[in-house]
Structure 1
């Protein structure tokens, strides 16, 4: 584990908010175990509380610990060349298997990033809540300094750098049949359609 990965993991495990580069746009990350950190993230972004935060995981094993209902379309996408990568999948949630911090939610949006050091952080911390590093409704700035300047306050740790892509991940809802694209991003509609037939 590198010093940078250790620093990020320690900050998150102690309830910090971290601004960091991802394989798509810059992100804000918190541990789901720290309610105060989640509250701060919402305030930093001016994000409405009725908008749930997406989750990043290191691998499919971590998905299994969250109680996700893995439909055939979700399994197909998980096995595709876009995972790990810029593809967020929406799963239904089995409350009997879900951890306490997901209480009250009936779905989760999950992504496995395609970035070696970010995966190392996730292996160290477990699943993280990660959302784009911008004020709600605004474009995500290109650099960490620009993103920090846009926020309503200052994260506990700012990792210098830029996002690897200018656009966020594509979101595909696999709770519904056929699966449906909810946000077009770095993975195109045509790419998704080649994997899942009957996509509306």
Structure 2
């Protein structure tokens, strides 16, 4: 394959990216959360190439990105609650896991053979322009090697995937900085938070007028690396830098780079003022910087983050980054 191209986020760049996608190519593009690695969700070969480029296990489903609710309803069965959430939070950082319609033409690799599909309508203007220009659903996990730190800048994508994909559309830094919240529904109809993210749990509960169950539901099928996910973003070890990560630190240990937050000062900080929005937007970039500073013999320590609002998503990513590596 030729060298990965960087495309500008202008009309010519969007048109070129859409053309590559129609040819079965892979193009990374910015969303408000992180950069996604896009491929035609109806093309088995293109979707298989996403898994191969990332080194992602094929039992781990992907999110299909759409330009609007009407296109999303062509792929999944929406009830009143799902439409309420779509009306409130789309376009935006919310993914809904819903029953898959028959005859959609969607590659079975996108759903990992599950009877449900994960759908999102992103808010980023570049992502929306690309989806309109392409004219179909794009399967798009984060544009990084599987299990590693998610990309929030085009340079992050190039550092992990250069030479494995056709192009990156450079739309600048991502504003939200953590992946989308994923919400599904139990067999009895109850809403369930499957992954915390860019939409806070409290906002979802307010929209639905009821509390959400949290975490995977029901018996889990085991794979050789652990329980099989029933939605993206559920692997225990994920978002991991090369250096080991320690959480709830108020001071650096020997050889550690301390990432501060609020009153805890560090070598780097997610937010000196304790702003969770700023911390989420900075998280993956700071994690990469800390990894670089730690070097091959060092480690990273993170100051405590409140478990509320976007802090829930930040802590979820940090716990996965600190988890034992497979």
> What is the TM-score when the length of structure 1 is the normalising length?
0.90
Q: What secondary structure does 2:62 align onto?
A: coil
SS of the residue aligned with 1:132? coil
Q: The residue matched to 2:140 in structure 1 has which SS?
A: strand
Tell me by how many angstroms 1:64 deviates: 2.3
Q: How does 1:156-171 map to 2 (within 5 A)?
A: 156-160=166-170, 161-171=172-182
Rg larger in 1 or in 2?
2
Of 6-15 and 151-160, more deviation after overlay is shown by 151-160
Could you tell me whether the CA contact under 8 Å between 1:135 and 1:150 is conserved in 2?
yes
Matched, 1:72 2:80: yes
| Structure 1: gaps (5+ residues) | none
1:93 aligns with 2:105: no
Cα separation, partners in 2 of 1:152 and 1:120, compared to 1, 3 Å = closer
Quickly say closer, same or farther: Cα 1:152–1:45, change in 2 above 3 A: farther
Distance 2:53 2:129 in 1: 25
Alpha carbons 1:11, 1:156 under 8 Å: kept: yes
Give the match for residue 198 of structure 1.
211
Report the 3-state secondary structure (helix = DSSP H, G, I; strand = E; otherwise coil) of the residue aligned with 1:194.
helix
**Aligned CA distance change for structure 1 residues 174 and 72 (closer, same or farther; 3 Å):** farther
Report the counterpart of residue 47 of structure 1 in structure 2. 56
What is the number of equivalent residue pairs in this alignment?
A: 197
Tell me the equivalent position of 2:20: 11
Aligned mates of 2:151, 2:44 — CA distance in 1: 26
Number of the residue aligned with 2:160: 150
Structure with the larger RCO, 1 or 2 (CA within 8 Å, 6+ apart): 1
Report the aligned-residue RMSD: 2.0
2: CA distance, partners of 1:5 / 1:141: 20
Q: Give 1:71 shift.
A: 2.2
- Tell me, what secondary structure is at the counterpart of 1:131? coil
Runs of 4+ in structure 1 off by over 6 angstroms are: none
Q: How big is the shift at 1:11?
A: 0.8
Assess, with a 3 A threshold, how the Cα gap between structure 1 residues 4 and 153 changes in structure 2: closer, same or farther. Answer: closer
